[in-house]
Chain A
Amino acid sequence: MIVTPLAAYLIVAALLFAIGLAGALTRRNAILVLIGIELMLNAANLNLIAFWRYGPHPEALTGMMFAIFSIAVAAAEAAVGLGLVISIYRHTHTTDLDQINRMKG
């Protein structure tokens, strides 16, 4: 089986996405869950850039712009997410997700 360059990048991105998903679903620490989510977002960015590079019209910049805006939105997400983790830690004195099981403070 011959793997094209695009398929090779897509496989790497899929593997990175699966690693991030496994991290987000299995780790106990809330910050590590956020790290897993960041890895998943980055894997999606790699897909966008790979399709931009091997797509029919790279000069239209569509995939590139999508990736750049995605990076900006992910940065905003990280800031809010980590702010939430710090706020929850102040409330419950733990970042262990197995112990944070009440909606009411």
Chain B
Amino acid sequence: MSIAFYPLALLTLAGGLAAVMLKNTVHCALALTVAFAGLALLFLELDAQFAGFAQILVYIGAVAILVVFAILLTKGSETPASGIFSSTWLVGLVIAAGVFAVLSWAVLQSVSALPNETAVPAITVHDIGNALVGRYVLPLEIVALLLTAATIGAVIVALHEKVGEK
């Protein structure tokens, strides 16, 4: 594990924390972008170049922009007078803390059967392309169908519906 892991993990967690804590919704979306960028860098740190760049393209390039559009289309940037946290925030916080406690306990208690330092896997984009159209061609087709259905579905759901007209 190289020294770059610590600042990257810190950046990701700070971005994620800011994304759920900040008052202004637009600031939350920008903090979310920072968290996505930190995750992409962590993927690169794990020698998963393709996944890292896919993360940058899909999340920073598409999902973050989509979130900003949704915020601007819904007046979501206005801070409500009743506060930004829901009335049952304490229960949610306790559940999240419990989940983290269980997960970290399980990770720290378990003894890894895997070696600590393995050689860097020699994976090229060529290999990934071959696997995508070879062994994983059926999942690829299903994902293509899913993305088409999701695009059409999102347009139909968000389509403006006139009052009194079905």
Contacts and interface: CB of A to CB of B under 8 A. Distances in A.
Interface of A: 1, 3-12, 14-29, 31-32, 34-36, 38-39, 42, 45-46, 49-50, 52-56, 58-59, 61, 64-65, 67-69, 71-80, 82-87, 89-90, 95-98
- Interface-centre pick from B69, B131, B149 (highest chain A CB count, 10 A): B131
Chain B: number of interface residues, binned into ranges: 35 or more
A104 to B, nearest CB: 15
A95 B107 contact: no
Q: For the complex, would chain B's binding face be called helix, strand, loop or mixed by DSSP majority?
A: helix
Nearest to B151: A79
A95 B86 CA distance: 12
A46 B157 CA distance: 31
Nearest to B149: A76
Given A12-B13, A42-B36, A23 B20 contact: yes
B76 A31 contact: yes
